[in-house]
Every structure is written in structure tokens, then in C-alpha cells.
Amino acid sequence: MTTNLNPYINFKGQAREAMDFYQSVFGGELARSTFNEFGMAHDPAEGDLIMHSQLTTEGGLVLMAADSPADMPFTPGNNISVSLSGTDEAELHGYWNKLADGATIAQPLEKAPWGDSFGMLVDKFGINWLVNIGGTPQEPTPQP
């Protein structure tokens, strides 16, 4: 099991265009989801905005991005976070707990609508962190 550390950029309605551009620069595979796809749109006009996108290149580069909805702060130049993601729950909870020391918790690390555990915080140095723990695959039920 590995943990990934990636830049995460927020945009204001430009995530789709920006990630298409970055794909043209770096190549790779681009995945994206809208707020509507997860039932997370607070405003119907924002449903088609990008809730999460991820560009992964053959060389191992990973760039993530999303649109900031109207009810979230957006300040150009201050719109980059660091994302920790993976499936090692103990490791990622450990990082979360240490980063949370003196931090402002924006979203507690808890079960998210997409099935993973997710949390956001601003550490004591003003750095935005996102932690996503992938759901654990269930063991098959033994058959009699």
C-alpha cells in the first residue's frame, strides 16, 4: 500500500478548461467528476462544475484540481493545497492527527459520499491539506 502526495489546485469555474490544458501539456489520462454526479451541488447552477479531477501521466505525474463553489473561499495565488491519498488507513490517520496539531479543521476526516474517508485542514503554518483514505475492499463472504 502506498500513500501519494500531490498538488491540488482550486479554480473558480475553470477546472475543466485548465485540466484539459494540462493534459495537452503533460499527456496522460484525465478523470473528472462533477458536483451533480455526487449530489453535492449546493446551487443547481454549479452542478456541472468539477468537484474532483485527476490527471495521471505514464511517467507518474499526478495533478488534481476542482472548482470552488460559491460557498467556499477562493483567493487566486492561495488556491493550492497538498493532497495525501491512499488506502493505508493507519498511516493516513497518523498523518492527519499530526497535521491537525494547531490546525484549523475545515472538514473533519470522516466518511464521504463517494465512499472514502475525507478531511480538510489548514495546518499551523497556513498550508491547506486534503486527506483521502480509499475504501477498504471487503473480504469475500465464505460460502458453506
The DSSP line for 70-136 is TTS---TTS-EEEEEEES-HHHHHHHHHHHTTTPEEEEEEEE-TTSSEEEEEE-TTS-EEEEEEPPP
Q: What confidence tens digit (pLDDT) does each residue in 74-122 have?
A: 877 778 889 999 999 998 999 999 999 999 999 999 999 989 999 999 9
Q: What confidence tens digit (pLDDT) does each residue in 57-84 have?
A: 998 889 999 999 888 888 777 788 899 9
pLDDT exceeds cutoff 50 at 144:
no
Q: What is the CATH number of domain 3-133?
A: 3.10.180.10
